[in-house]
Structure 1
Amino acid sequence: MVIQGSSGRDRAAEQQRSFTAAFRTAGLGVEELWTEYFGVGGDAGFLEVDAYVHGMTALSARDRDMLAHVVNEYLDLHADARRAAYSRPFRNPRPTTPPLSALVELVDGVHLAAPDRLPVIAHAAGTALGVELTVHLVDYEQRALRPATGTGAPPLDLDTTTAGRAFRELEALATTDRSPTLWMPLLDGIERLGVLEIGVPEPEDLRDPGLRAHCRWVARLLGHLITITTHYGDGLDRTRLTENRTPNAELLWSLLPPRTAGVGDVVVSAAVEPRYDLRGDVFDYALSETAAQLLILDAAGDELVAATALAAYRSARHAGGGLLEQARSLESTLAGRFGAGRLATAVLAELDFDSGRLRYLNAGHIEPLIMRGGTVADPLGAERHAAFGLGAEFEVVAEDKIHPEDWLVFHTDGITATPDPGGEPFGLERLIEVLRREAGSGHPPPETVRQVVTAVREHHRAVLRADATVMLVRKLDRATAPRRPEDERR
């Protein structure tokens, strides 16, 4: 039961009367009550609790709620309510609790629904939960959060608003400037899609851990549904587009994996530019329980070579081929399809999660970097093979080791070669400086990738025209790794 009233003093008095009645029903002693209350984190003394039980003093809302929790748990465990017996147990066909009702609203509502209706279905789920839900999706440039409701509401800036901070830092944040609101990251796995705006009835609800957990469940399911429905409709995708993609960009974007994914303590995050005129850069990865297989490739502005090379890589990988087989598949496919003169540089890699063993093959590409302890360790400088398309033989795979909290950074030359208006390239030193700054920021990997791309854009001071791609792989320690749902229940 939740007490609602006109003033905080009236609500406190009514809560105390309700507590006293429940305490008498439970048959607890004051000493036992105080012991259990102390065990769940209460810090009021025995005499204060005794006085509160007998209506002789007031306590803070936090202490009142903790005492109510102790009594209610005791009643739940010991109440002996008699009911008419059935011949066997029957399950209730409809959900009886708000959080389950909200999840059912999403699951049932999305069945045969157009993607455009998902924001309306989310609002209905919020009603079942007793809150008001509004979906905001991040644009593909990752500069603003745009409401998916189509009401014409202005976008929310990613760098200057509380909603943007919740997105950047993957943290639920509260605001009370207009009405009490919780801003919760909207994720598919760990890929950032936007934020969920959660309007709550009263400011006290913002501190309710149960409500936060329920909203987190809804946000996670909603994130999956957004990704799924985007595959068969353009309604939500149009919310995220600020301009039309060119045909070559549509081809390559349709082939790319999610921009961020993670397994255990390893996270992969990437970004490609220009978002609307991508021509020759692609990245790829495959994650299992034990390893990550990785690719970054630059086809020098030739989208057909990039798409063909990506298909050849995946074909060999799906067949169980290792790095040498993957490289040979790339080489033979490009030579057979295009003949001489159509080239691509690439790095192919495999990372074993348990040992940290990194095996890689560099085909004419820029050397990847390893950030360790906030500084750049030696680049992965093993001898480079020739670029794909030149008929090279691939016989040798290099090795290195990745330690917990290392950052493995792949990039194309579009990152370092992008010039400012005076012609000075962004350069390796600026890239390293951004990575060093991010190493001390505590930002999650996708935010680090966003900061790299933002720095390149600001250096160029114009719309990027040449392809620029960065892919970051972080092996996190347990304290930094995103928690699994089962971890949050402990």
Structure 2
Amino acid sequence: MRFLPEEEQQRLVAACFARSDLTLEQLWMRYFALGGSLSLLELDAYLNGLFALPRVDRDMVAHAVNERLDEVTGPARAPYSHSVTDAKPLHGPLKALVDLLEGAHRAPPERLPAIVAEAGRALDLKIDVYLADYDQRTLVPLRPGATELDIETTVGGDVFRRAGTTVTREGTMWTVLLDGVERLGVLEIVPSGDADPDDPVLREQCRWLSALLGHLVTITTKYGDGLDRRRRHRLRRSPTELLWQSLPPLTGATERVVVGVSVQPAYDLCGTVFDYALSEGRAQLAMFDTGARTGSANTAVLNALAAYRAARHGGASLAEQFAAVGAELEARAGAPAVSGVLAELDLGTGVLRLLGAGQAAPLVVRGGEALPAAECAATRFASAGGPPPVTEIRLERGDLLALYSRGVTETTNGAGEPFGRARIAEHLGHDADELPPEIARRLTRAVLDHGRGEFRQDAGILITRWVAR
């Protein structure tokens, strides 16, 4: 197989991109849709000859450019790393990617393990997929007969908690399975033949397979139940099912901010919801809570969530969002009282603006220590009389912001002692260096342990880390 020199391919791809009428952001979106995971800045650096890419990435960028050239200019195309006469790759990372893409076309979710196995054979690897159950206690194997893995005590669980990669002394590679930034599970990768798990090239190839598989797991779960059933250990009641379908992913991130959430009990969640929206300039965050676990509580928090989203989507200010939630709740007389917190974080300056109603103000942890509590003066959401004063806090790089439901603070132990705000601060300080979704997961586990293995109220925690430039 003849390969085009990397520098020559980069020069020609950049020239073709200049003729494509695509913006850098549009090219990145096309590249990302093909399974790419480089950042916008890395793609920009590559096109300007400042950053080297693996061959798989270079060909994905070339293909993204060519798709656009086919639309607007005709035959002149960006070159791939190998000659056109090579046609479909017969081995290696490109074949693995092609096998995944072709095998997943119209495939039901339960066929994914076989598709992954075929892709692994192209790299001389045996690959097993484990998905986290919805309680995030165990990793459930997709291969029949394999054993579940405890997240707290196994190698695979450690990789999931750290969102990393580990090679055992036996030569088995474990790597996290991600859809973007959301942890879905782990891959167990056993090399065969001459494959070396310590080879950085092989690790990079496995990272690409993992990233593409993560996208496929999420996409296929949306139109089939095969993978979703494997992740469930219990049935969900219909109110809980409706609530989960209304929530965003448990992890979201941009270059400037990371959000991680845990809400429990996963199979009986009822009176707590959360939301977030991330953009270039700000992060908008919300949590609504009734403190009750009834059908009417479920309806009340979903109504509050819908009113908040409608106002936010319409470009409403923080005060207008607060009033919109109040108007929605006032129109539903007899519904359980809903408390909550709305927040906006300016990602350029670190200024955090808060409005709360009947709920403890969020915690900010800096350097492992909780800052003095902010004030959220309103006792309820209301549309009349004007919004309460907005509380402003200036965050510093690396600060953690925690929004939490009443079930976190009010869960009691055998002596009747509530978990309390001080314990939240202690756990946040202890785990401050972990990823936000892992911090949130550990905190709800601590609440469960404090409550003697039972959630009598919903426990919701939303962790945000501001990453200043």
Shorter-normalised TM-score: what interval? 0.7 to 0.9
Query: Aligned to 1:305, which of 296, 300, 305?
Result: 300
Partner of 1:20: none
Counterpart among 458, 461, 467 of residue 458 in structure 2: 467
TM-score (norm: length of structure 2): 0.78
Question: Secondary structure of the residue that 2:196 maps to in structure 1?
Answer: helix
Shift of 1:96: 5.0
- Tell me, yes or no, if structure 1 residue 325 matches structure 2 residue 320: yes
1:428, distance to aligned residue in structure 2 (A): 1.6
State the identity %: 44
Q: Distance in 1 between matches of 2:436 and 2:401?
A: 11
Question: Shift in Å at residue 400 of structure 1?
Answer: 1.4
Whether the 8 Å CA contact 2:125–2:191 is kept in 1: the answer is yes
Report how far residue 332 of structure 1 moved: 1.3
Out of 240, 250, 254, the residue aligned to residue 249 of structure 1 is 240
Secondary structure, aligned partner of 1:431: helix
Q: Distance in 1 between matches of 2:412 and 2:371?
A: 26
| C-alpha deviation, 1:300, in angstroms | 3.2
In the alignment, residue 226 of structure 1 is paired with which amino acid? V
- Give the counterpart letter for 1:217 in structure 2: W
**Counterpart of 1:56?**
none
**Does the CA-based 8 Å contact 1:274-1:465 persist in structure 2?**
no
What is the DSSP-based 3-state SS (H/G/I as helix, E as strand, rest coil) of the residue aligned with 2:315? coil
Q: CA separation of 1:100/1:328 partners in 2, compared to 1, >3 Å: closer, same or farther?
A: same
> How far did residue 386 of structure 1 move?
2.8
How far did residue 406 of structure 1 move? Answer: 0.3
The residue type paired with residue 370 of structure 2 is V
Q: For residue 414 of structure 1, give the secondary structure of its aligned residue in structure 2.
A: helix
Distance of aligned partners of 1:416 and 1:300 in 2 relative to their CA distance in 1, 3 Å threshold: closer
Establish whether residue 100 from structure 1 lines up as the match of residue 94 from structure 2: yes
Contact residue 186 and residue 219 of structure 1 kept, 8 A: yes
Sort the Cα spacing of 1:91 and 1:269 in 2 relative to 1 into closer, same or farther, 3 A. farther
- Paired position in structure 2 for 1:192: 183
In structure 2, relative to structure 1, the CA distance for the partners of 1:126 and 1:400 (3 Å cut) is same
> Structure 1 regions of 5+ residues with no counterpart?
2-87, 479-490
- Once the two structures are superposed, residues 151-178 of structure 1 have per-residue CA deviations (whole angstroms, 9 ceiling, x without a partner) of 132211111111111111111101244x
Work out the CA distance in 1 between the residues paired with 2:154 and 2:441.
17
1:463 & 1:344 partners in 2: Cα distance?
23
Distance 1:203 1:271 in 2: 42
What is the CA deviation profile of residues 198-244 of structure 1, one whole-angstrom value per residue up to 9, with x for unaligned ones? Answer: 11026871110000000000101111111111111111111111111
Check 1:392–1:277 CA distance in 2 against 1; reply closer, same or farther (3 A cut).
farther
SS in 1 for 2:223: coil
1:425 alignment counterpart: 418
> Normalized against structure 1, the TM-score is what?
0.75
Cross-structure match for 1:36: none
CA drift at 1:312? 0.9
- Provide, for residues 79-123 of structure 1, a one-character-per-residue CA deviation record: whole Å limited to 9, x for no partner: xxxxxxxxx984644135511111111111111111111111111
Q: Which residue of 2 aligns with 1:335?
A: 330
287, 290, 311: which one pairs with 1:316?
311
Alpha-carbon contact 1:445-1:472 (below 8 Å) kept: yes
Secondary structure, aligned partner of 1:289:
coil
Task: Decide whether aligned partners of structure 1 residues 329 and 477 sit closer, same or farther in structure 2, where only a CA change above 3 A counts.
Answer: closer
Give the whole-Å Cα distance in 2 for the aligned partners of 1:320 and 1:122.
43
Tell me if 1:154 matches 2:154.
no
Partner of 1:55: none
Instruction: Flag as ranges the 4+ runs of structure 1 deviating above 3 A.
Output: 88-93, 389-393
| CA distance in 2 between partners of 1:437 and 1:223 (Å) | 30
Per-residue deviation, 1:354: 1.3
Aligned to 1:69: none
| 2:9 corresponding residue in structure 1 | none
Aligned to 1:259: 250
**Pairing 1:405–2:398 present:** yes
Bigger drift between 200-209 and 183-192 goes to 200-209
Pick aligned residue for 2:127 from 133, 143, 149: 133
Deviation, structure 1 residue 427: 1.5
* Secondary structure of 1:231's aligned partner: helix
- The structure-2 alpha-carbon separation of the partners of 1:288 and 1:111, relative to structure 1 and needing over 3 Å to count, comes to same
Q: Which residue of 2 aligns with 1:268?
A: 259
CA distance in 2, matches of 1:203, 1:409: 48
Q: Which residue of 1 aligns with 2:157?
A: 164
What corresponds to 2:364 in structure 1? 370
Could you tell me how far apart the structure 1 residues matched to 2:172 and 2:408 are?
A: 38
> Any idea what SS the aligned residue of 2:417 has?
coil
Judge conservation of contact 1:169–1:444 (CA < 8 Å) in 2. yes
Residues 66-89 of structure 1 deviation map (CA, whole Å, 9 limit, x = unaligned): xxxxxxxxxxxxxxxxxxxxxx98
Per-residue CA distance 1:380-423 (angstroms, 9 max, x = gap) = 22x42231268563253221111101000110110011111232
**Matched position secondary structure for 1:393:** coil
Contact 2:414 / 2:452 at 8 angstroms: preserved in 1? yes
One-letter identity of the residue aligned with 1:325: E
Following superposition, the deviation at residue 359 of structure 1 comes to: 1.4
2-structure distance, mates of 1:266, 1:467: 26
Q: Is the 8 A contact 2:378 2:388 kept in 1?
A: no
Instruction: Give the Cα–Cα distance (whole angstroms) in 2 for the partners of residues 250 and 127 of structure 1.
Output: 38
Q: Specify the code of the residue in structure 2 equivalent to 1:332.
A: A
Of 382, 396, 401 in structure 1, the residue corresponding to residue 389 of structure 2 is 396
Equivalent of residue 341 in structure 2, options 336, 347, 352:
347
Aligned 8 A contact 1:343 1:389 in 2: no
Q: Which amino acid aligns with 1:102?
A: A
Going from structure 1 to structure 2, the CA distance change for 1:372 and 1:123 (only over 3 Å counts) comes to: same
* CA distance 1:459–1:99, shift in 2 (3 Å): same
Distance in 1 between residues matched to 2:402 and 2:207, nearest whole Å = 31
Separation (CA, whole Å) in 2 of partners of 1:274 and 1:351 = 28
Q: Hey, what's the Cα distance between the residues in 2 that align with 1:184 and 1:341?
A: 46
1:118 aligns with 2:112: yes
Alignment of 1:173-252 (within 5 A): 173-177=166-170, 180-201=171-192, 205-252=196-243
Deviation readout 1:261-287 (Å, 9 max, x if unpaired): 110031000111111111110000001
